[in-house]
Amino acid sequence: MSLTRIEGNLSASGRKFGIVAARWNEIFTERLLQGAIDAILRHGGTEDAITVVRVPGSFEIPLACRELCKTRKVDAVVAVGTLIRGDTSHYELIAGELAGGLQRVMFETGVPVAFGVVTAENMEQAMARSGAKAGNKGWEAAQAAIEMANLVLRLKE
């Protein structure tokens, strides 16, 4: 008996990607967006294969992702935004709805959506996760999107 292994790879060549980026907390989100773009380009993607959609805040990301996925013009989408905990429950509400919304988009459309939204306790954590000491979550999410785009295409073969 032979074991079958199916996995994606990190080649963005020939693939099309969407990036949905929130404008809120733009000082961090812009760095996440640039990290995602850079990851796609460094893994063989091209600028003309990337569509960037801007939305007001992280709460709006799932709807834009869904509409982009429904076009069937992208092989995967990267969602980027930044949520910073405050003094109210707003942070938890938005983070939970965002994660669940993105998961529903994937299940409804079959298009991978990578979670590149930083959820931070404070500004220092947000900075660290958007390109400083803790890496760039936009870059990491783009790598996940590349791998999942290739995996989904292999599963359909």
Instruction: Record the tokens describing residue 70, joined without a space.
Output: 């429904």
Q: DSSP secondary-structure letter at 136? A: E
Catalytic residue among 72, 73, 90, 154: 90
Three-point CA angle 38, 39, 40, nearest 5°: 90
Location of structure tokens 């990337």: 50
Contacts of 124 (CB under 8 A, 6+ apart): none
Closest by CA to 105, choosing from 47, 36, 38, 18, is 18
**Catalytic residue flag (residue 43):** no
69 in helix, strand or coil? helix
Question: What is the C-alpha to C-alpha distance for residues 124 and 122, in angstroms, rounded to an integer?
Answer: 6
- Give me the active site residues, please: 90
